């Protein structure tokens, strides 16, 4: 959440690096939920757009239950 509140370019780069990793559907949903809530800055909208490009929209838009396998 702190990275989304920051205006610093490095904060958004950190989020972009996180999204380059293989993430679980639950974590993608959590990130997407936060990104949608913090679209007050153009940079945050870009991070959300990037998430949509890298992962299935269903993972972002629909609740993804955490599985403890």
For residue 8, the model assigns a pLDDT of: 93
- What is the spatial distance between Cα 22 and Cα 9, in angstroms, rounded to a whole number? 23
Per-residue pLDDT tens for 10-41? 999 999 999 999 999 999 999 999 999 999 99
For residue 68, the model assigns a pLDDT of: 85
Could you tell me the maximum CA-CA distance found in the chain, to the nearest angstrom? Answer: 37
Per-residue pLDDT tens for 53-69? 999 999 999 999 998 87
| Mean pLDDT of the 1-10 span | 93
DSSP 42: H
Number of H helices, E strands in the chain: 5, 0
For residue 69, the model assigns a pLDDT of: 73
CA angle 35–67–57, rounded 5-degree value: 40
């Amino acid at each position: 959440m702190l990275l989304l509140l920051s205006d610093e370019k490095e904060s958004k780069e950190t989020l972009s690096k996180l999204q380059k990793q293989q993430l679980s559907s639950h974590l993608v949903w959590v990130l997407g939920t936060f990104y949608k809530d913090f679209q007050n800055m153009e940079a945050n909208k870009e991070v959300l757009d990037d998430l949509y490009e890298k992962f299935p929209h269903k993972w972002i838009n629909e609740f993804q239950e955490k599985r403890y396998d």
